[in-house]
Structure 1
Amino acid sequence: MSHTVLLINPNTSRPTTDMMVALAQACFQSLQRSDILVRGLTAPEGPGMLTEMEELEQAAAIARHPLILAQAQGSDGIIIGAFGDPGLQALTEHVKVPVIGIGQASMLQAARAGTPFGIATTTPGLEQSILDQVQRYGWSNQFSGLRLTPTAPLDLAQAPERQDQELADSVVACIEQDGARAVIIGGGPLAQSAQALQSRLAVPVINPIIAACELMAERLPPDQP
């Protein structure tokens, strides 16, 4: 029996959806979970990138969109592909399958070791939201701090190499200045950068898409022969 996991991209960028779906499917394959098929769903309306609180709130409302709810109810699991986990609570109330936010999953993975963790991201407009999120999930005691890239997020999105470098600098600052033992890359659209940094840096870099897939694999056990 196969499982279908719906990966919702709460922004309207189809290339971002395709990137996250490809990464998620590859992750399930690496976990020997060929029984899990990932289907992507791009927000039918709203911002092309979530960089401010107003946009995050707009994305959360999308969780109640009829298209989203119809596809969610036909899935075996749901991953919300934005770090702020917009719509997580609303979807959890509407479906009976596992609903996992990538922010939620990455913080859980970082905190499991019991050591300090930091977050590196590109969106200063969401700083307070991320800090509130850490507190809401109960990880304040292990959180070492948030580091932001200096360049505007929309500009970085158009310059992948610069984005990777600025995120790398932020990760190093989390480790060397804040005492983090692991660093989360805070953003679904930043998943490719997270992949690149894992091979470049000799520190634990947590990719939120991968973290969500690993948690989903735990919650969707394979059929026993």
Structure 2
Amino acid sequence: MKIKVINPNTTWEMTKGIEHAAKSAARQGTEILAVSPEMGPVSIESYYDEYLAIPGVLEEIRKGDREGVDAYVIACYGDPGLHAARELTHAPVIGIAEASMYMASMLAARFSIVTVLPRIKTMLEELVAGYGMGHRVISIRTTPLSVLDFEKDPAKGMEVLAQEGRRAVEEDHAEAILLGCAGMAEFADRLEQELQVPVFDGVVAAVKFAEAVVDLGKTTSKLKTYKYPEKKKFIGAMSPFADINS
């Protein structure tokens, strides 16, 4: 099967790290196609960034259906454009935040998210509530580092993740840790050894769920909510999005 892993930001160095995590999780015979959009922000750390990343994500979904992709992973912890992407394709579309929460809920009663800058916290609180996980996520711990800081200084990144992860376990009584950024994949195994609780990278979780759903022969329901958008005219820079593959 072919899984397209979309890093919604345009930093290719981060996409390469995401690709490595996805390939390390995929079984033999699964092809991983890791991409960044041709347009969008270099990192996603605000509502503004997230909303402007979505057109690039949707364009990659459109391309993927022409490329014979069997499933998609949106590799940003805000799951930007997830519902719109599901409207564009029959193939399963899995967000890494949703995947990590679902997987963690099978192995731990309560868990914490450790993420990037403090301004992200409200965005993640809303995301958690939307997934019905407010009773399972007992804390969202932020760090002083931006998304790209983890790329530039992995040693510092590991240090702050371990610090906040330990606080989540000891002070919040978290029984598992979710890494709240696709760029944190490389730290998951070391953190799990250090903290002695399950640590979930969303890219890995999403790839495994994608494989399972494709194996089961399931596709996105087109009955109502995720049916293809109605065809209509789009103006200006949005005009290419009027071409819907339905």
TM-score (norm 1): 0.89
Tell me the distance in 1 between the aligned counterparts of 2:120 and 2:189.
Answer: 22
Q: CA RMSD in A?
A: 1.8
**Residue 129 of structure 2: SS of its match in structure 1?**
helix
In the alignment, is residue 91 of structure 1 matched against residue 85 of structure 2? yes
Do the aligned partners of 1:118 and 1:180 also contact (CA within 8 Å) in 2? yes
Q: CA deviation at 1:125?
A: 2.2
- Secondary structure of the 1:179 match is coil
Partner of 1:216: 210
Q: Which amino acid aligns with 1:21?
A: E
Aligned match for 1:8, one of 6, 13, 29: 6
SS of corresponding position for 1:209: helix
Report if aligned partners of 1:72, 1:78 keep a CA contact under 8 Å in 2. Answer: no
Give ranges in structure 2 of 5+ residues lacking alignment. 218-246
Task: State how far apart, in whole Å, the 2-side matches of 1:18 and 1:94 are.
Answer: 26
Judge conservation of contact 1:10–1:59 (CA < 8 Å) in 2: yes
d(CA) in 2 for partners of 1:222, 1:134: 27
User: How far does residue 196 in structure 1 lie from its aligned partner after superposition?
Assistant: 3.1
What's the CA shift for 1:77?
0.4
Q: Partners of 2:204 and 2:74 in 1: how far apart?
A: 12
Aligned to 2:137: 143
> CA deviation digits over 1:14-71, x for unaligned, max 9?
111111112211211xxxx312100011111111111122101111232333x54122
Residue identity over aligned pairs, in percent, reads 28
How many residues in Structure 1 have an aligned counterpart in Structure 2?
216
Partners of 2:90 and 2:147 lie apart in 1 by 35
> Secondary structure in 1 aligned to 2:215?
coil
Q: Label 1:86 to 1:200 Cα distance change in 2 as closer, same or farther (>3 A).
A: same
**Contact 1:195-1:207 within 8 A present in 2 as well:** no
2:179 and 2:201 in contact (8 A); partners too: yes
Structure 1 residue 154: deviation in Å?
4.0
Any idea what SS the aligned residue of 2:126 has? helix
Q: Compute the TM-score of the two structures, normalised by the length of structure 2.
A: 0.82
The unaligned stretches of length 5 or more in structure 1 are none
SS in 2 for 1:46: coil
Q: Does 1:113 align with 2:107?
A: yes
Q: CA deviation at 1:156?
A: 4.2
1:70 and 2:63 are equivalent in the alignment: yes
- Per-residue deviation, 1:110: 1.2
